[in-house]
Every structure is written in C-alpha cells, then in structure tokens.
Amino acid sequence: MELFVSDSCGFCVGVRHAVSLIESVLKENPDSPVYSLGMFIHNEKEIERLKLSGLKVVDSIDDVPDGSIILLPSHGTPPEIKEKCRQKALESVDLICTYVKKLQEIALSLKREGFDVVMIGDKDHPEVRAVRAIVGDLIVVDKAALLNDNLNLSISNRYGVISQTTQSLEFYREAVDWLLGKAFPKKEVRVYNTICWDVVERQAKVQELASQCDVVFVLGGRKSANTRRLFEISSETTMTILISDLSDFLPDYVKGKERIGIISGTSTPMWFVDKFIGLLNSLDADIKMKKDGDINGQ
Ligand code: SF4
C-alpha cells in the first residue's frame, strides 16, 4: 500500500497565527478566564485541545463577564460586536487573518466609491455575515442564486465583486461568468479575486491526489467550508472519505486499495493528521510513505 501525504496538510498560515496567539494569551493569563466568541476555527478537535488549557467558548457576547479577555474569530467580527466589547470593557484579542482583513478593506472601499458589493459565498458563513455587517446591503451569490437565476441586479449601475476566502475557484469562475454575461449587461463591474491562495493550492492538490489514488481521506471539521470543498472536489473523481474523528475510519475503506491519499482542511492540526497516519500504519506494517512530488510515479 502506498500512502501519499500531501504537503498541504495541517494549519494554513492564518490559523497557525491564531492558535499561537491563543496559546500565548492562555499562558500569560493562567488565572483569568479567556473566552472565544464561537468557534474561532471550524475544527472541533483543536478547540477541544485548547479548552483543556483553559479556553472557554461562548455563543453570545452577553455570556462573557465584563472586563474579561475575549478572542475575536479569524473570519472577522461585525462592528456591533466590537462595540459591545467596548461597552463591556472586554480586553479583545482579534484573531482575524490578514487575508480576511484585506477582503473587508476591499469591500469597504468599494462601498465608499459607490459600488454595490456582490460577494460570491455562502450567505450564512461568518465571513460573509461580517462583510454584510460592515457594508450594509450585501448581494450574496451562491449556488442557489445561479440555479434559480433570481437575483435582482437591475437597479445599480456599478457592482464590485468579491469572494469568500474559502470559495472554490471553479464556482468563483462560474459565478463571475454568470454575473458578467447575464446579470450585468451595460453596467460597470469591478471584480476582485479574494480567494485565499492556500485554499486554491489545496484544491489543486486534492484534484491531483484524486486522479492518482484509489481512495482519498480528507481530514477536517464537518463545519469547515474549505474541508467540505476538498471533499466535494475529490469525490467527483475517486472514492473520498471525510475524517473529522478517528472513529470515522473503517478498515474496509482501504481493503484492496493500492494508492491512498491524505490531505487536510486549513484548520486541521498536524497532530490529528499524524494520529490518522499512525492508525493506517497500524493496519499495514509495509505501508510506503510518499510526498507530493512522488504522486506522478517518479
Ligand atoms: S484559509 Fe486563508 S483566509 Fe482563511 S484563515 Fe487560512 S490563510 Fe486566512
């Protein structure tokens, strides 16, 4: 059995930065509770690990006692929540990723220049909700909008298009084509590609893995948008299994398989990837480990 472990496993740069910041805050404040507003990353395993070090996760800002330390999520925080933090005299540590921050800056500058902002993404994703809170009216283009062809874009003459950072490149292209060709005749349209490079790279790598392997394991949280997209892309080509807990694995998945691929979402810790590799190794002592460069048979 050959095991191809993608180089794109473990945290992306934004999540790595957020986790190391949290670890320092927890270490420097052993006697004060540190709160996270919702899941700061979409990975239950990593959140559980940090909870053991003292992190407290709350769903509402109202559940945080005045004067406490609060961690604001990496996918952005709406202005009204930041205002509530000020009113409650909370000490905020903003974990926002630089790519998400850049996306918000572009959205705001489009709004100020008089463009109606169109975001290609999932309407309920926290990143989209944060942008909506910043720019006010936000037109969200998702798969349903394309399918039903029901967006009303006839009023404004200027549209600025951005994308959720974890959007699939394929859907982004499809949506931009649709917007340009169908929805925007004779209008001014400014298009920004705000998809994160790490997400794009993982999507290309999972495609390559899927084309060469009998089964691909995508490791990550079930609520993680970018993990789900890796799963969808790989599923189009080969048998693909989403592993968010080691108990999701069944030995039958690898029975008779010769080439196995492993990749992870951007919020999946490397320690979880290593545990999964250990599990596979425990089934077959002769397993041969390969890296990205080996995938085409070199
Ligand atoms: S996936 Fe990209 S945008 Fe999201 S946190 Fe990671 S580096 Fe930042």
Contact 119, 163 (CB under 8 A): yes
pLDDT at 298 over 60: no
Residues 58 and 108 in one domain: no
d(CA 60, CA 268): 25
Contact 233, 207 (CB under 8 A): yes
Ligand 1: atom nearest CA of 197 is 2
| Residue 155: exposure state from Cβ atoms within 10 A (0-12, 13-18, ≥19) | exposed
Residues 114 and 65 in one domain: no
Residues 185 and 103 in one domain: yes
d(CA 274, CA 284): 16
Helix axes 13-28, 44-52, angle to 10 degrees: 20
Q: How far, in Å, are 53, 118, 138 from residue 173 at the CA level?
A: 42, 14, 20
pLDDT at 289 over 90: no
Contact 257, 215 (CB under 8 A): yes
Residues 156 and 171 in one domain: yes
Last residue of a domain, one of 73, 97, 121: 97
Residues 202 and 166 in one domain: no
CA angle 202, 205, 211 (to 5 degrees): 140
Q: What is the pLDDT of residues 260-282, one digit of tens each?
A: 999 999 999 999 999 999 999 99
Residues 267 and 228 in one domain: yes
Single-letter residue type at 137 = D
CATH number of the domain bearing residue 129: 3.40.1010.20
Last residue of a domain, one of 80, 97, 114: 97
Residues 172 and 117 in one domain: yes
Q: Which domain holds residue 56?
A: 13-97
Last residue of a domain, one of 34, 68, 97: 97
Residues 6+ apart with CB under 8 A from 286: 1
Residues 54 and 141 in one domain: no
Instruction: State percent of the chain over pLDDT 90.
Output: 70
Site to probe by mutation for ligand 1, drawn from 8, 9, 12 as the one with most ligand atoms within 8 Å of Cβ, is 12
CA-wise closest residue to 141 among 122, 166, 156, 157: 122
Mean pLDDT of the chain: 90
Ligand 1: atom nearest CA of 11 is 6
Please give the helix or strand (H or E) that residue 7 lies within, else none.
none
pLDDT at 296: 62
Residues 132 and 202 in one domain: no
d(CA 40, CA 74): 6
pTM passes above 0.95: no
Question: How many whole angstroms from 203 Cα to the centroid of ligand 1?
Answer: 14
Q: Is the CB of 195 under 6 A from ligand 1?
A: no
CATH number of the domain bearing residue 63: 3.40.50.11270
Both structure tokens of 236: 């189009």
Sign of CA dihedral 256, 262, 265, 267: positive
Q: What is the pLDDT of residues 56-100, one digit of tens each?
A: 999 899 999 999 999 998 888 888 899 999 999 999 999 999 999
Contact 257, 214 (CB under 8 A): yes
Ligand 1: atom nearest CA of 199 is 1
Question: How many whole angstroms from 170 Cα to the centroid of ligand 1?
Answer: 18
Q: What is the pLDDT of residues 232-271, one digit of tens each?
A: 999 999 999 999 999 999 999 999 999 999 999 999 999 9
DSSP-derived secondary structure for 224-251: -HHHHHHHHHHHTTSEEEEESSGGG--G
Question: How many whole angstroms from 195 Cα to the centroid of ligand 1?
Answer: 9
Q: Is the CB of 189 under 6 A from ligand 1?
A: no
- The number of distinct structural domains making up the chain is 3
Q: Is the CB of 15 under 6 A from ligand 1?
A: yes
Residues 20 and 82 in one domain: yes
Residues 82 and 46 in one domain: yes
pLDDT at 285 over 70: no
pLDDT at 297 over 60: no
User: Which residues are the active-site residues?
Assistant: 127
- Mean pLDDT, residues 21-28 taken together: 95
Q: How confident is the model at residue 154 (pLDDT cuts 50, 70, 90)?
A: low
Residues 185 and 202 in one domain: no
pLDDT at 147: 81
Considering only CA atoms, which residue is closest to atom 2 of ligand 1? Answer: 196
Considering only CA atoms, which residue is closest to atom 6 of ligand 1? Answer: 14
Q: Is the CB of 199 under 6 A from ligand 1?
A: yes
